[in-house]
A and B are shown apart, each in its own frame.
Chain A
Amino acid sequence: MTIDQPARITGLFRGAVEAVALLDEIPLGLALLDSELRVIALNRGAEALLGITRRQARGIPCRHVLRNNLCLHNCPARRLTPEAQPLCLEGNIINRERQKIPVRVSFAAVLDLDGQPVGYLEALEDLRLLQQLGAGKARSYSFATIIGHCAEMQRIFQILPGIAQTDSSVLITGETGTGKDVLAEAIHQASARAKGPFVKVNCGALPETLLESELFGHRKGAFTGAVEHKPGRFRLAHNGSLFLTEVGDLPLTLQVKLLSFLDDKVIYPLGGSSGVQVDVRVIAATHRNLEQMARDGRFREDLLFRLNVVRLHLPPLRERGEDLRLLLDHFLRTLTTEFQRPIKGFSEAAMNRLLAYPYPGNVRELRNLVEYAVNICHEDTIEVQHLPVFLTTTPTNPAPAATSTESASNTAPAAELNHAAAPATAPARNWPEAERRLILDALTRAGGRRDRAAQLLGWGRSTLWRKMKHHEIDG
């Protein structure tokens, strides 16, 4: 073994290249360690971060070179087995300039051609900038992309950073469109697992048999068609977070398997004889009432208790008071920037219409309404006629600031559907009924042509199709 002989990589490029020179181009601190955890090489990023040259570090035990707090109490190498996935941990180092630097450490075993570990690759990411940004974020009325002023959202923003840093299971509840998915991803991004994967599984989207294989994976030959090993979502989420959306729709049999995973962090792939240890944080969300489902025997009570470690309830938009205006302005600002439209704001009448609408689809629906208006509006102010037709035709709760004059102006622009949407029949008792009537009316006016009906309603074709399916209307 020659110490000063530069190691080369051959077979990748036309000629041989120097291994360390290749590592130098990666904008992260990288350390190559031998099986005894002694430094073989540092790239330029690691030299800059640690304040030590590769020549000085060569052959020294890594704990004296990296000087990471993890090295002393939670050495990643001690936790790595040949079959284990790479680890991603957060810690801090003290460099040669005596600065304490927060870092994210990714640690992977380097295997030889027989799959035997011959060394380790350690990547160090400087988190100083990220932490500075995080400190600013804590003072604002937001968390990631979620914003709000109301007391309930403020309470969530205050506890979220702390919750994100733990590994506890999180259960997010709230009506559809309240931002459960966004919140789950924000928790992941603010956690020590942010560098790991965020894997989302919709428990209601797949039949039971497929879902089991999707979640827990299968071995080759486990069933007809299983022609190769499949890792499953749990393994894909190793070192990261697994987001189980619509967990209320998880079949009872799979609830047992999930329960078992939450207990011992081991998954058993279909057809496999042994379990696989995975390090995954589970975040679950549902719009269903799990307590009621547990009482009805449709959801395991013991699973509910395990998922319910940290519970976050996102309030519906109608309970968020002043946030409605905040969100309208926020989405208008972001969407006008995105679509490069010179729109300054909403007219008073349009704003009152928007404030009076009940938003059964919550924030998602609100955003879609604003997006529609931004697309339609070619002036500098969004007027009532730029809003979707159903908004101007359906009965809405009176807005606090609404005046009689604007209600008169509201009716005019939506004329096309209004005439037909005001039949002699009794007014709709609820929104689904009103929506169904609107769809039928639009289809009638469009002579059954869905394209035209969707255009009349201000919806996309797929939205119309989905809503027709929901209301069981045959086209």
Chain B
Amino acid sequence: MAQKVLIPLDGNEVAPRFDLAAEVWLGLLADDGRVSEERTLVLPQASAEGLCRLAITEKVEVLICGAIEDEYYQYLNWKKVRVLDSVIGSRRDALQALAEGRLDSGAILVERAGTLLGAT
């Protein structure tokens, strides 16, 4: 069964900040990963309230985003929108992980660059 997904975007990536995203992707994601009715909206201005309103009016079921304030997170949850926040990665990877049932809040879907300092 397809679910309606909204992803605030920064280029091709999930936007690091929900409240600062001026572009969103909307679409239906089928269980097999196929996408339909997809569209990208450019918002007149970045606004967390505006995005919440959009999610409600569009009857979004899943929101994939980066950082989101608790106020909006709780509101969307209350409105029965499943919020997967702190996701790092491209829109495509996020959708694929969601379809495969392995996307959770805090998922990191980017390749880490080699680094110099190790954790101790």
B70 interfacial by beta-carbon distance below 8 Å = yes
Within 8 A of B (CB), among A48-73: 53-56, 58-61, 63-64, 67, 69, 71-73
Kindly state the separation between the CA atoms of A412 and B77 in the bound complex, as whole angstroms: 81
Which residue on A lies nearest to B14, using beta carbons?
A64
B68 interfacial by beta-carbon distance below 8 Å = yes
Kindly state the separation between the CA atoms of A32 and B117 in the bound complex, as whole angstroms: 9
Given A73-B20, A98-B70, does the pair A58, B110 have CB atoms closer than 8 Å? no
* Stretch of A4-12, A135-143, A421-429, A446-454 that contacts chain B: A4-12
Chain B residues positioned under 8 Å from A63 (CB to CB): 16
* Stretch of A14-22, A246-254, A461-469 that contacts chain B: A14-22
**Cβ contact of B68, chosen from A21, A73, A98, cutoff 8 A:** A98
How many residues belonging to A are interface residues under a CB distance threshold of 8 Å? Answer: 41
Contact in complex: A38, B113 (CB < 8 Å): yes
Which residue on A lies nearest to B22, using beta carbons?
A72
Kindly state the separation between the CA atoms of A1 and B117 in the bound complex, as whole angstroms: 9
**Cβ contact of A60, chosen from B20, B85, B88, cutoff 8 A:** B88
Kindly state the separation between the CA atoms of A260 and B116 in the bound complex, as whole angstroms: 45
Contact in complex: B120, A6 (CB < 8 Å): yes
Q: Residue among B10, B66, B112 with the most chain A CB within 10 A?
A: B112
Contact in complex: A59, B70 (CB < 8 Å): no
Contact in complex: A71, B16 (CB < 8 Å): yes
Contact in complex: B119, A20 (CB < 8 Å): yes
Contact in complex: A64, B115 (CB < 8 Å): no
Within 8 A of B (CB), among A24-41: 32, 34, 36, 38-41
Given A64-B16, A99-B70, does the pair A5, B118 have CB atoms closer than 8 Å? yes
Chain B residues positioned under 8 Å from A224 (CB to CB): none
Contact in complex: B67, A67 (CB < 8 Å): yes
Kindly state the separation between the CA atoms of A36 and B113 in the bound complex, as whole angstroms: 9
How many residues belonging to B are interface residues under a CB distance threshold of 8 Å? Answer: 27
Q: Residue among A4, A67, A96 with the most chain B CB within 10 A?
A: A67
Chain B residues positioned under 8 Å from A99 (CB to CB): 69-70
Contact in complex: B16, A1 (CB < 8 Å): no
Contact in complex: A94, B67 (CB < 8 Å): yes
Name the distance in Å between A31's Cβ and chain B's nearest Cβ.
Answer: 11
Proximity bits, A366-387, B CB within 8 Å = 1, else 0 = 0000000000000000000000
A100 interfacial by beta-carbon distance below 8 Å = yes
Contact in complex: B68, A7 (CB < 8 Å): no
Kindly state the separation between the CA atoms of A58 and B86 in the bound complex, as whole angstroms: 15
**Cβ contact of A100, chosen from B69, B86, B112, cutoff 8 A:** B69
Contact in complex: A72, B16 (CB < 8 Å): yes
Which residue on A lies nearest to B20, using beta carbons?
A72
Contact in complex: B119, A59 (CB < 8 Å): no
**Cβ contact of B115, chosen from A3, A56, A93, A97, cutoff 8 A:** A3
Contact in complex: B114, A1 (CB < 8 Å): yes
A292 interfacial by beta-carbon distance below 8 Å = no
Contact in complex: A2, B68 (CB < 8 Å): no
Q: Residue among B20, B110, B116 with the most chain A CB within 10 A?
A: B116
Contact in complex: B16, A3 (CB < 8 Å): no
Proximity bits, A340-379, B CB within 8 Å = 1, else 0 = 0000000000000000000000000000000000000000
Contact in complex: A3, B88 (CB < 8 Å): no
Proximity bits, B6-20, A CB within 8 Å = 1, else 0 = 000010000011011
Kindly state the separation between the CA atoms of A60 and B19 in the bound complex, as whole angstroms: 21
B25 interfacial by beta-carbon distance below 8 Å = no
Kindly state the separation between the CA atoms of A61 and B16 in the bound complex, as whole angstroms: 10
Kindly state the separation between the CA atoms of A178 and B120 in the bound complex, as whole angstroms: 56
Kindly state the separation between the CA atoms of A5 and B119 in the bound complex, as whole angstroms: 8
Given A71-B16, A97-B70, does the pair A34, B120 have CB atoms closer than 8 Å? no
Chain A residues positioned under 8 Å from B88 (CB to CB): 60, 64
Within 8 A of A (CB), among B61-98: 66-70, 73, 85-86, 88
Contact in complex: B117, A41 (CB < 8 Å): yes
Contact in complex: B119, A55 (CB < 8 Å): yes
B106 interfacial by beta-carbon distance below 8 Å = yes
Kindly state the separation between the CA atoms of A40 and B113 in the bound complex, as whole angstroms: 9
Kindly state the separation between the CA atoms of A6 and B115 in the bound complex, as whole angstroms: 11
**Cβ contact of A72, chosen from B10, B110, B114, cutoff 8 A:** B10
Contact in complex: B85, A3 (CB < 8 Å): no
Q: State the A residues within 8 Å of B (CB).
A: 1-7, 18-21, 32, 34, 36, 38-41, 53-56, 58-61, 63-64, 67, 69, 71-73, 93-100
Top 7 A-B residue pairs of the complex, sorted by shortest distance between their CB atoms: A59-B112, A94-B67, A98-B70, A67-B67, A41-B117, A4-B118, A7-B117
Q: State the B residues within 8 Å of A (CB).
A: 10, 16-17, 19-20, 66-70, 73, 85-86, 88, 106, 108, 110-120
Beyond A4-B118, A34-B116, A58-B119, list 14 extra A-B contacts (CB 8 Å): A1-B116, A3-B118, A6-B117, A6-B119, A18-B120, A41-B115, A54-B119, A59-B112, A63-B16, A67-B66, A94-B67, A96-B106, A98-B85, A99-B70
